[in-house]
Structure formats: structure tokens, C-alpha cells
Amino acid sequence: MIISGNNPTHVQQAADALCAGELLGLPTETVYGLAADASHENAVAKIFKAKGRPSNHPLIVHVASAEAVAKFASEVPAFAQQLMAKFWPGPLTLILPRRDDVAAAAAGGQTSVGLRCPSHPVALAVLKACAAQGVWGIAAPSANLFGRVSPTSAAHVQSEFGDALLILDGGECEVGIESTIVDCTRGVPVLLRPGQISRTQIEHACDLKLVAPEALNTDAPRASGTLASHYAPTAKVRLMSSADWRKALEALGPHTQNLALWSAEKPSHEMMGAGLLWRAMPLDATQAAHDLFSVLRNFDARGVRTIWIETPPETPEWEGVRDRLNRAAA
Ligand code: TXA
Ligand code: MG
């Protein structure tokens, strides 16, 4: 059932459901989350079951403010403090050492915990209403089945989990790709997942160089969003340069059955076979991130079997989009 995030009674209803150990489709500025009380083991188990996600893959715990961090983290390094001060509330998740008496199931058994304070006003209202009832953290992975495309609208969430799930409608997600994740448990900041907050912005805010997980010769923590194949639509995705998709379309001529193309430039009239579905890829990385998952979902919904996507520019602001596209194509 979809209820309105603009209605304070519905927001309270959503918070009450969470505090009672129920699941909720929660809007955030990045993507919709499948939310549950992070300290409630049975509620957290419902998330893993509904998503079909392995229970050793840790979930992000959402908090209403930086003050709630002490409820979950045993220690916060100075650079993590700086990142929080700069980017919270917002699309940044910090991995911190976990207090060993809290949220073990939500953390997938790791000795660390991922924490994020989202900026979406509806998410914040829900988190505050939960905190008022003593529920300080809400675990929420993206509200999609394991390995699939993340949802950026209430309707997307409903199409994943059906009408039995309570979903709070907060409109279309502004950012459109998941939060940037920085591991703060290794003495230096490590970029686990790129997102809208770029590598440059993070390095600037804490005055430290970001380290790549591969550069550390320790076991990287399990992270679903970092699996090679993830965010995949049903259709097969192929990344192609602009020259390559042009050549390939010319070769196909009119035989473009069940084919979709997401590219910056529109194919010429001659290249546009009757069966080709085309969408414009925005020239701006922020806008492209916003559109990405809904474009993929839309292609799937129209029964497309193959999706060609123009390889985005190699510049830092496209890193989050490039990352999701590489995984969708893997
Ligand atoms: O934008 C977002 O982050 C969204 C919204 C709902 O907040 N959530 C999200 O959750 O993307 P999820 O579960 O789909 O991705 C969370 C990622 C996973 O790759 C998970 O493994 C990683 O964060 N993660 C969470 N806690 C971790 C930990 N303690 N150590 C390492 N990775 C962790
Ligand atoms: Mg996910």
C-alpha cells in the first residue's frame, strides 16, 4: 500500500510500523530503501528474506542526526567527523567500527557498521519520529530484489514487492544513484562505492587522499553494491562508444527488434530502425544519475531485450554513473 509522505499522519503511521518491527518502503534522496528497525533482529531478518539477499551482506543504518552515531559506532576518527560535518544530512555513508552490543544482524555480522543521515525531508521526519520512540537506527538497503535495479519512485518499489508492503511516497528520488560509501575503519579513508559526492569533494573535505580497496591487502568487507554484476535490468546491457553504436546500427539497418539505445546524441533518421527505442542521455552527470535507473526500468517494462548505452565521459563527476553502468553490463 502506498501512503503519502506529505501527510504527517501517514509519516507517523510509517514510523509506528517501523517501531513495531514491520518493513517499510522509505524514500531517500538517493534511492528508495526497504527499511526496518536496525536493532530488531526479526525485523532485519525480514529485509534479507524479502530481498533474497545473503544475510552476511551488511545493511546501511540510517540515523536522524550525527548525534545518533554514538549509539552504533564505538569510535569516530577525526576525518570521519569532518566528512559528517560537511556532507550530512546527505548521500554519504560512513563505515565505522561497530559497538559490539548493537545491530549485529543489520551489520551482517561485521565488526563495523555503515551509517548515513539522509537529507530527504520525509526520510528525516520518519527517522526523527522513530528516535522519539527510542528507535535510533533504521536499516535500509535499496528496495529492490538482490542484484536488480534500485528503485527511484514509490511505484518502482511496489513493482518489486507488491501491494502488501507499506510504502511511504516521497516522490522521485533527486540523486538517483546510491550513496557514496567511505570506509573509515582502516586509518585512511577508503572509497568502497562512488556516488554523487565525488572523490574530489571527499578528499577536499578531509584533506586526505582516498585509497582504493584494492590497494589494501586485507579482506574487503562484503558489499552487494560492489559485486561485479549488480544493478542489472532483465535486458542485456552493452556499453559502446558513440562511434561503435553508430556503426552497429548502420549494420543492422531495419533489423532493430527489441533494441534500446541510451545515448547523448539521437541516431540519424536512416539509423533509426522501426524497432529501436531511443532515450536521450543527459550531458550533465547529475541529471544522468537521476535518470539512470528509471531509464533501465522503463526499457525493461517495454520488453526490450538488448540495451546499448553510450560510454559516459571519463571525468570524475561521471564516476558514480560509470560504476553502475559497468556493473549493469557485467
Ligand atoms: O543510498 C543508499 O545508500 C541507499 C539508501 C536506501 O540509503 N542504500 C543502499 O543500501 O544502497 P544497499 O544495502 O543496497 O547498499 C549498501 C552497501 C552494500 O554494498 C553493503 O555491503 C555496504 O553498503 N555496507 C553496509 N555496511 C557495511 C559495512 N559494515 N562494511 C562494508 N560495507 C558495508
Ligand atoms: Mg542495493
Mean pLDDT over 16-29 rounds to 98
| 190-195 contacts, C-beta under 8 A, 24 or more apart | 190/216, 192/95, 192/220, 192/221, 192/223, 192/226, 193/93, 193/223, 193/225, 193/226, 193/323, 194/319, 194/320, 194/323, 195/30, 195/91, 195/92, 195/320
Ligand 1 in reach of 327 Cβ (< 6 A): no
Portions of the chain given CATH number 3.90.870.10: 2-215
Nearest Cα neighbor of 235 from 178, 161, 308 is: 308
In the reported structure, the alpha carbon of residue 141 is separated from the centroid of ligand 1 by a whole-number distance in angstroms of 6
Question: What is the C-alpha to C-alpha distance for residues 106 and 167, in angstroms, rounded to an integer?
Answer: 20
Question: What is the C-alpha to C-alpha distance for residues 38 and 135, in angstroms, rounded to an integer?
Answer: 8
Residue 220 reports pLDDT greater than 60: no
Question: Helix-strand-coil percent breakdown of the chain, rounded to 5?
Answer: 35, 20, 45
Q: Percent of the chain having pLDDT more than 90?
A: 88
Q: What's residue 233's pLDDT?
A: 87
* C-alpha dist (Å) from residue 330 to 107, 130, 177, 208, 219: 27, 39, 18, 32, 22
Q: Are 106 and 137 in contact (CB under 8 A)?
A: yes
Residue 159 reports pLDDT greater than 80: yes
Portions of the chain given CATH number 3.40.50.11030: 236-329
In the reported structure, the alpha carbon of residue 58 is separated from the centroid of ligand 1 by a whole-number distance in angstroms of 7
Q: Are 17 and 5 in contact (CB under 8 A)?
A: no
Under CATH, which architecture does the 2-215 domain have? Alpha-Beta Complex (3.90)
Task: Report which protein residue has its CA nearest ligand 1's atom 3.
Answer: 179
Q: Percent of the chain having pLDDT more than 70?
A: 96
The continuous run of DSSP H or E covering 138 comes out as: strand 138-139
Atom of ligand 1 nearest to the CA of 116: 7
Task: Report which protein residue has its CA nearest ligand 1's atom 22.
Answer: 223
- Cell reading at 177: 544513484
Q: Are 192 and 95 in contact (CB under 8 A)?
A: yes
In the reported structure, the alpha carbon of residue 275 is separated from the centroid of ligand 1 by a whole-number distance in angstroms of 38
Residue 274 reports pLDDT greater than 90: no
Q: Are 299 and 235 in contact (CB under 8 A)?
A: yes
Ligand 1 in reach of 190 Cβ (< 6 A): no
Residue 209 reports pLDDT greater than 60: yes
Helix (H, G, I), strand (E, B) or coil at 92: strand
Residue 143 reports pLDDT greater than 60: yes
Atom of ligand 1 nearest to the CA of 33: 6
End-to-end CA distance of the chain: 34
Ligand 1 in reach of 221 Cβ (< 6 A): yes
* C-alpha dist (Å) from residue 120 to 62, 68, 77, 165: 12, 17, 26, 21
pLDDT band at 275 (very low <50, low <70, confident <90, very high): confident
Mean pLDDT over 112-125 rounds to 98
Atom of ligand 1 nearest to the CA of 142: 14
Domain 236-329: give its CATH code: 3.40.50.11030
Mean pLDDT over 52-72 rounds to 96
Q: In what order do the strands lie in the sheet with 112-116?
A: 2-4, 167-169, 24-26, 33-37, 138-139, 60-62, 112-116, 92-97, 180-183, 190-193
In the reported structure, the alpha carbon of residue 250 is separated from the centroid of ligand 2 by a whole-number distance in angstroms of 37
Q: What's residue 257's pLDDT?
A: 86
Residue 43 reports pLDDT greater than 60: yes
In the reported structure, the alpha carbon of residue 282 is separated from the centroid of ligand 1 by a whole-number distance in angstroms of 27
Pocket test residue of 51, 59, 116 for ligand 1, highest count of atoms within 8 A of CB: 59
Ligand 1 in reach of 59 Cβ (< 6 A): yes
Pocket test residue of 56, 60, 186, 190 for ligand 1, highest count of atoms within 8 A of CB: 60
Amino acid at 231: Y
Which ligand has an atom closest to residue 110 CA?
A: 1
In the reported structure, the alpha carbon of residue 226 is separated from the centroid of ligand 1 by a whole-number distance in angstroms of 9
